[in-house]
A and B are shown apart, each in its own frame.
Chain A
Amino acid sequence: MTSRLLEPQTGAAATVRRIHAMVLRHWYLLRSSGPRALEMVFWPLVQMLTWGFVQLHLAQTTSLAAAAAGLFVGGVLLWDILARSQLGFAMAFLEEVWARNLGHLMMSPLRSYELIASLVMVSLIKLAVSMIPVVVIAYLMFDYSLFSIGLPLAAFFANLVITSWSFGLVSTGAVLRYGLGAENIAWLMTFLMMPLSCVYYPVTTLPVWLQPFSWALPPTYVFEGLRAIVLHGEFRGDLMLWAFLLNLVYLAAGVALFRYLIESARNAGTLVHMGE
């Protein structure tokens, strides 16, 4: 009886339909709350303004900073691409937990890979909402255009968002398995990465023993790549390739861990009371 009322449940069309439904759910949410959208712009804007003024000050007092205009503003904008994308991913998932909607979703025909795909798409939408106004304001206030990086920006962007999804998968998987007590992981993971990723300084600034840990993070290659462009006008393809290869490993590990944690949550029974 039921299948006569329903679209086919398998195949690409079914997958696209279910991902679309989940993206639509977050789009409705975003549309329904102006303050929520405003908050998404607020923090990246505060960061950008702070570092923009620091850079203006340094440009007036040191020749290096004057020569390397865009080092800080470029760094902060790229960092926010990573941070906002990861938070967008994790928040989209946490919304389901807070709304006590996860049980409905987990027993609907939605597959775990479709849930992941929808979180990826929602993170991109939220990233656009966060960053487009900030990029425009950076141009108007500090005469810095992120697009002045040129084509390498695409490589930077791709590497940063892939990293954000990998970390987003780990933090959301932890919440699935260990409940809302693990929620802080979603907030902490990105910010713990910040000093190690060398957003505003070269890797050589770190103690020697810490540098291998830094090179183990894909964003480090992106920020080194940014400095190579800003300071030397050189695009380091090798750095982007390393970042990409590392990202493939991180993403595969993130997906595997997420799926493992879902199964583990089904074993431990934590899906049932999620959000209560």
Chain B
Amino acid sequence: MLDTVKRGVDGENRAGPPVVVRDLRKAYGDVVAVDGISFTLEKGTVTALLGGNGAGKTTTISMLMGLIIPTSGVAEVFGADMSTARHRVLHRMNFESPYSDVPMRLTVHQNLSIFARLYGVIGFEARIRELSASLRLDEFLHRPYGKLSAGQKTRVSLAKALLNVPELLLLDEPTASLDPDTADWVRSRLEDYRRETGATILLASHNMGEVERMADRVIMLDRGRIVADETPATLVQRFGRETLEEVFLDIARRGGRHDAETRS
């Protein structure tokens, strides 16, 4: 998939972990979305960010992209504070989410070529051909994005996310609303990408099967706080459960009981 990838030192900050989060907090008035979390992502790892709705996953990812400024604490990517210096490193990362689209009336090729120009991909036509072949976009490459099925749109979104061969890939529920076959296929492509490039992946997901398959590590959030941070296997073992889904439910329901106790 990555024939055009050339490896080598390019003078940018390579030392240290790609992502460092320290005491990160985001509050909207009285509502605390993320409450003083800290973690580090090592190069080449896949980390899953889990939690129920409103646990703080999307806010955390958004702070890592520099789209949200934290109330306090630091989100660093490749050594750059994403609040103040995100443009130093944005070309080295990318993200994919079914909740963002690209312009509907433009064809897939037009959309990809625009993003390739924004990222400054050298020889982008070759890169688009390469991605088109590996992600099976050929049949609809010149069709408007708005006329594609959900599965096809996800493949385009993935192609957009991989255009610049990102060293850090942020994925927000990448397989949501896909049928099991297509979702499995997308996971395989992401695994291929990680294997071929050594990229670091942060994955927010509600699909526990996906997390068990892809993630080396799980960070579980509950009401903006980290309540677990370990490998999927260790987590399952520690909770005395058989699957990650059971652990997820335990933590979610424990949170619910805690809410009830607090209210009473």
Proximity string of chain A (12-25) to chain B, C-beta cutoff 8 Å, 1 when within and 0 when not: 00100110111011
CB of B115 closer than 8 Å to a CB of A: yes
Q: Which of A1-29 contact B (CB under 8 A)?
A: 1-9, 14, 17-18, 20-22, 24-25, 28-29
Q: Does A143 touch B at the CB level, under 8 Å?
A: no
Task: Tell me if B85 is interfacial: C-beta within 8 Å of chain A.
Answer: no
Task: Verify if B263 is at the interface (C-beta below 8 Å from A).
Answer: no
Please state if B68 and A107 are interface contacts (CB–CB under 8 Å).
no
Name the A residues within 8 Å of B65 (CB-CB). Answer: 107
A107-B66, A269-B62 known; A2+B100 contact, CB < 8 A: no
Find chain B residues with CB under 8 A from A236 CB: none
Instruction: Point out the residues of chain A lying under 8 angstroms from B166, CB to CB.
Output: 2
A29 and B120 in contact (CB under 8 A), knowing A1-B10, A4-B6, A24-B114?
no
When A32-B144, A103-B100, A269-B26 are in contact, do A110 and B118 touch as well, CB less than 8 Å? Answer: yes
Tell me, in angstroms, the Cα distance from A199 to B160 when the chains sit together: 47
Q: A residues 65-113 with Cβ under 8 Å of B?
A: 95-96, 99-101, 103-111
In contact, A99 and B101 (Cβ under 8 angstroms)? yes
- One of A167-175, A188-196, A216-224, A260-268 at the interface: A260-268
Determine if B68 and A266 form an interchain contact, defined as CB atoms under 8 angstroms apart.
Answer: yes
B95 touches A2 (CB 8 A): no
| B residues in contact with A100, CB < 8 Å | 99-101
Whether a CB of chain B sits under 8 angstroms from the CB of A276 is yes
| Closest Cβ–Cβ distance, residue A18 to chain B (whole Å) | 5
**Chain B, residue nearest A105 (CB):** B118
Closest to A1 in B: B7
Q: Is the CB of B66 within 8 A of A266?
A: yes
B119 engages A263 (CB within 8 Å): no
Q: B67: CB under 8 A from chain A? A: yes
Please indicate the chain B residues that have their CB under 8 angstroms from the CB of A95 in the complex: 103
- Binary CB contact string for chain B from 87 to 129 against chain A (1 if under 8 A, 0 otherwise): 1001111110101111111110010011101111110000100
Q: Is A184 positioned at the interface, with any CB of B under 8 Å from its CB?
A: no
- B50-77 CB mask vs A (1 if < 8 Å, else 0) is 0000000011001001111100000000
| CB nearest to B92 among chain A residues | A2
In the complex, A48 has a CB within 8 A of chain B? no
Give residues 1-55 of B contacting A (CB, 8 Å): 4-8, 10-12, 26, 28, 33
Instruction: Give Cα distance in the complex from A24 to B121, angstroms.
Output: 16
Contact B90 A109 (CB under 8 A): yes
> In the complex, what distance in Å separates the CA atom of A39 from the CA atom of B107?
22
A263-B90 contact given A1-B8, A4-B6, CB 8 Å threshold: no
For residue B101, which residues in chain A have a CB less than 8 angstroms away from its CB? Answer: 99-101
For B4, B69, B121, B198, which residue has the most chain A Cβ atoms within 10 angstroms? Answer: B69
A38 interface residue (CB < 8 Å to B): no
Does A272 count as interface, using CB distance less than 8 angstroms? yes
Does B164 sit within 8 A of A, measured CB to CB? yes
Q: Which residues of B contact A107 (CB under 8 A)?
A: 65-67, 90, 93-95
| Interface of A toward B, CB cutoff 8 Å | 1-9, 14, 17-18, 20-22, 24-25, 28-29, 32-33, 95-96, 99-101, 103-111, 263, 266-269, 271-272, 276
Can you list 29 A-B pairs, Cβ within 8 angstroms, ordered by A? A1-B5, A1-B8, A1-B197, A2-B166, A2-B167, A3-B12, A5-B5, A5-B121, A6-B121, A8-B120, A9-B120, A14-B120, A17-B120, A18-B117, A18-B118, A22-B114, A24-B114, A28-B106, A103-B67, A104-B100, A107-B67, A109-B118, A266-B66, A266-B68, A267-B68, A269-B26, A269-B28, A271-B67, A272-B62
Residues of B within 8 A of A (CB): 4-8, 10-12, 26, 28, 33, 58-59, 62, 65-69, 87, 90-95, 97, 99-107, 110, 113-115, 117-122, 127, 144, 160, 164-167, 197-198
